[in-house]
Structure 1
């Protein structure tokens, strides 16, 4: 069906799916990479028809919203640590496979980083062993589930069944057996359990959940990769003196804690890493008036103060800034544009102290060594 002006409809490149369902996860794992929109000059933008400009801007908006994952040193270290755990877990079915826990502050991109590793491992396994199992089932080496508030044992088992597209009727034991059958049939070797901090409730519930996590590691012949916030602080991995804490420690003995750190600029190494990150992002921006050093020099301190070194906060700022720069015709990012952009509450609350330190010359995010790109005069 054509539009009123005779052009074909334009759907855009939005990809709406849930990675907690097998169809969505397969789209994330196997979906084609996005193609960066053309970098047009102001004269070229002016030469577009109104319809062409709408389409170009739509492509730019979805592109800027989906930049990444970026291979930062933090992400690469996490991937190496996960690979060491997952890919060494070649134990037979009668042995419990050690688990991994990625425990970090919110807004650091830990879920994205873990899913990125899961995607890579999934594709590696399919390339090595084939898309189907010896029994003719689809091979699903990795699955991804996310928990919700106050998740109970039945809900945890149901989330696994829901991912596979299995019925979610029945009690916790029935759902557990159903999930195990799917894991075995589809040759799943790793399960990513996101937002695992939702398992921590009352003390009695924590004990039941500790038993459930032990059950999962005993019954599922997979590596469990937990992702959460403040899990160790809530004593899930700490040895205690009470019987309940001892139960939790059984889980801790089988789990290796990992983390993802925010960017820091207290030393030259940290400043160089921040600089490289901004240069990498800068190259991927599609704005008519962008220039070398727009982010990596001119906005370096500003972006560090406003994001506090948290990757998710940084990318939200840049994405929204690009949208505003496109809509108001500015076609570049600068302090005037960025001051109009709203960011998350946590970043804004921590911003003032960092900004004051930078303003007083007590802190900078700019490297002191090496060549720094600057805007041409």
Structure 2
């Protein structure tokens, strides 16, 4: 049997997907590869009998593909992500105003492990694709169009560092030398030239708000809102407690409050099973996970029914902890030949520390019937 040579387009898709292993979201090329890469192809679901018929090399390649697949199961279209995306579209599209109007900013403020960055990147990919499809890859001036810019903060980020990170993202030749003001003008020029419309600032909680750097960057956010034709989307943990949305009597409070006045706060919640709707949302998510898992002995209800309580207790309703546990469980199931997920196998898999700390209390409540995770059931 002969196979046809892949077309240039098919070869390009494979190459683009393979280079995601080495992408960095701090550069436009890395984000572009993430946004434009074709959807990952799911390995064929084989039975144990079919697995036994594979040769040594073919089996190794098949398991390698499954390892990669299970390590990248998401993002899932959870109710939380869908609701967040609707809010983001509302604000982003409403910011399509004339240049004399200040654009409203967004602050996504939620606890770790709820999929904030994953959800924002999924939204940013949609923004990138929509704008490129509507307006093309090049501006009227002949520059590359980059609808999205993403910057990550550290605890030592000042205004100069922040602007330099924008220049680094665009690969600007002037990113190595200059003052904070120089970098600011160059950053504005880069965003204008690329016609960027969404500026994502991740890990905002790393910023020490009330020291010199924090006040500088907060002032700079105000400058961005006034001068940059972008929607500013900030992601962090505990931003409200850090004073981003509050008004106080001190100069520092007033500076932060100006940012808060122009910013819409959004959040993401963990799954809860205290209501029938919450239990339904949890089961729908588990069904989505179950559908994607590629294990020879998978059966209907393996995850959504038989492991519902276990997975809620182990993840505490946090999507990040859930996907970590599923990923690691699938890796072990493939490697050991178990080819299914069950409580015995998951008991051998370690999860993140925060989820493990809350595990015992939830397991006891579920075992005693005080809590139920499946819809249609009532707690004792």
Partner secondary structure for residue 206 of structure 2: helix
- Picking from 128, 132, 136, the partner of 2:142 is 136
Matched, 1:145 2:129: no
Matched, 1:51 2:46: no
Aligned partner of 1:375 in structure 2 is none
Aligned partner of 1:282 in structure 2 is 290
- d(CA) in 2 for partners of 1:352, 1:160: 45
Contact kept, 8 Å, 2:159 with 2:213, in 1: the verdict is no
- d(CA) in 1 for partners of 2:43, 2:57: 16
- d(CA) in 1 for partners of 2:375, 2:206: 40
Alignment of 1:1-377 (within 5 A): 13=18, 15-167=21-173, 168-169=175-176, 170-368=178-376
- d(CA) in 2 for partners of 1:320, 1:212: 42
Partner secondary structure for residue 32 of structure 1: coil
Contact kept, 8 Å, 2:113 with 2:318, in 1: the verdict is yes
Structure 1 position 200, deviation (Å): 2.6
Contact kept, 8 Å, 1:138 with 1:186, in 2: the verdict is yes
Runs of 4+ displaced beyond 6 Å: none
- d(CA) in 1 for partners of 2:349, 2:156: 34
Number of equivalent positions: 360
Contact kept, 8 Å, 1:195 with 1:227, in 2: the verdict is yes
Alpha-carbon deviations, 1:262-313, whole Å to 9, x = none? 1111100000000010011101100000001011010000000000011111
Q: Gapped runs of 5+ residues in structure 2?
A: 1-13
Structure 1 position 201, deviation (Å): 4.2
Decide which moves more: 297-306 or 143-152: 143-152
Contact kept, 8 Å, 2:209 with 2:242, in 1: the verdict is no
- d(CA) in 1 for partners of 2:213, 2:166: 20
Superposition TM-score, scaled by structure 2 size = 0.92
Structure 1 position 323, deviation (Å): 0.5
- d(CA) in 2 for partners of 1:96, 1:206: 22
Contact kept, 8 Å, 1:150 with 1:201, in 2: the verdict is no
Structure 1 position 143, deviation (Å): 1.4
- d(CA) in 2 for partners of 1:269, 1:128: 38
User: Cα–Cα, structure 1 residues 175 and 205, in superposed 2: closer, same or farther, change >3 Å?
Assistant: closer
Structure 1 position 141, deviation (Å): 1.0
Alpha-carbon deviations, 1:175-214, whole Å to 9, x = none? 1111111111111111111111122344444332321211
Alpha-carbon deviations, 1:312-343, whole Å to 9, x = none? 11000000000001111100000111011111
Partner secondary structure for residue 295 of structure 1: coil
Alpha-carbon deviations, 1:107-150, whole Å to 9, x = none? 11110101111110111111111111101111111111211222
Contact kept, 8 Å, 1:239 with 1:246, in 2: the verdict is yes
